[in-house]
Structure 1
Amino acid sequence: MIAQPSRSAGRRHMRELDRAESLRLLATVSLGRIVFTRHALPAVRPVNHLVDGEDIIIRIHEGGALASLAEPAEAPGVVVAYEADVIDPDTHLGWSVVVTGYAYPVADADDADRYAGLLPPWVGPATTGALRIRPDLVTGFRLEAQAPRPAQSV
């Protein structure tokens, strides 16, 4: 059976979000998707995160797909994108934010310990490090209900 699109939300419009609102919304959720390059191809992984100032912090597993992003050879950082959203499946209202920037390993031991306490892994094995994504470009939009047009008198 093919799902039929919901018509319950009526008309919608898309409103662009500024950087501050986009990052504020990103901080309200704990799950997003990181987009990176693996074997010269785009790869996407769902990960949990936290927002620290403007930086997005994610934990990584030793030997996992994201571990290569933390290798010292990548000292200048690796370009990644990070996306999170909350879109209601029935009304199709909500928001989406995309951050593009550089991912760096969290090298400071105190920061790494603090993030370990704040960002527990959702699945095993235990995480062994963390990445800090420094945003260069932050874009977002909100899908909102459009007010009905007033009836025109004749």
Structure 2
Amino acid sequence: MRSTQQLDRAEALRLLGTVSLGRIVFTHQALPAIRPTSHVVAGEDVLVRLDEGASRASLVATPGEPGIVLAYEADAIDPETHLGWSVVVVGYTELIADRDEAERLAALPDPWRNQPSAGVLRIRSELVTGFRLGP
């Protein structure tokens, strides 16, 4: 029998920072969409590189308007034992507008796809949840 332990915010963000790949969850053309992407945790924010493509417009708010709300999920679950953890961050997005900061941050996430970067998206964590799967 496996146990499930809820993680507090600090531990969930710490664990999220130990992996570099997760899934961004958003709405694209009025339908749910999930895309794998790399990330970096910066304080309580999650930073993801944006690739050129159709879904970029779904992730970035119109300048001058509040950012859209989306979710970001990452986990580390052993395929044999099914032990590990999962973390979900929900928050408002913000396109990093300062060119110098965007260029510096674009170099941080390790892109796993060979596509040009269309900028860096900051997810300001409003809600952070997570759980650990134990024996």
Determine if the TM-score, normalized by the shorter chain, exceeds 0.5.
yes
- Greater strand proportion: 2
Aligned partners of 1:75 and 1:104 also within 8 Å: no
Look up the equivalent residue of 2:50 and give its one-letter code.
Answer: I
Instruction: Supply the distance in 2 between the matched residues of 1:66 and 1:29 (Cα, whole angstroms).
Output: 23
Aligned partners of 1:61 and 1:67 also within 8 Å: no
Shift of 1:106: 0.8
TM-score (norm 1): 0.82
- Cα RMSD of the aligned pairs, angstroms, is 1.4
Shift of 1:117: 1.7
- Are positions 1:51 and 2:41 aligned together? yes
Aligned partners of 1:60 and 1:67 also within 8 Å: no
For residues 36-47 of structure 1, what are the structure 2 equivalents within 5 Å? 36-47=26-37
Return 5+ residue gaps in structure 1 as ranges.
1-10, 146-154
Structure whose alpha-carbon radius of gyration is higher: 1
Aligned partners of 1:15 and 1:141 also within 8 Å: yes
For residues 21-100 of structure 1, what are the structure 2 equivalents within 5 Å? 21-73=11-63, 75-100=65-90
Instruction: Supply the distance in 1 between the matched residues of 2:52 and 2:46 (Cα, whole angstroms).
Output: 19
TM-score (norm 2): 0.93
Shift of 1:73: 4.8
Look up the equivalent residue of 2:92 and give its one-letter code.
Answer: Y
1:93-132, Cα deviation, whole Å (9 max, x unpaired): 0000011111110112222111122124222221120100
Percent identical among aligned pairs is 59
Look up the equivalent residue of 2:109 and give its one-letter code.
Answer: L
Equivalent position to 1:116, from 87, 95, 106:
106
1:14-40, Cα deviation, whole Å (9 max, x unpaired): 000000000000000000000000011
Number of aligned residues: 135
Shift of 1:62: 2.5
SS in 2 for 1:123: coil
Return 5+ residue gaps in structure 2 as ranges.
none
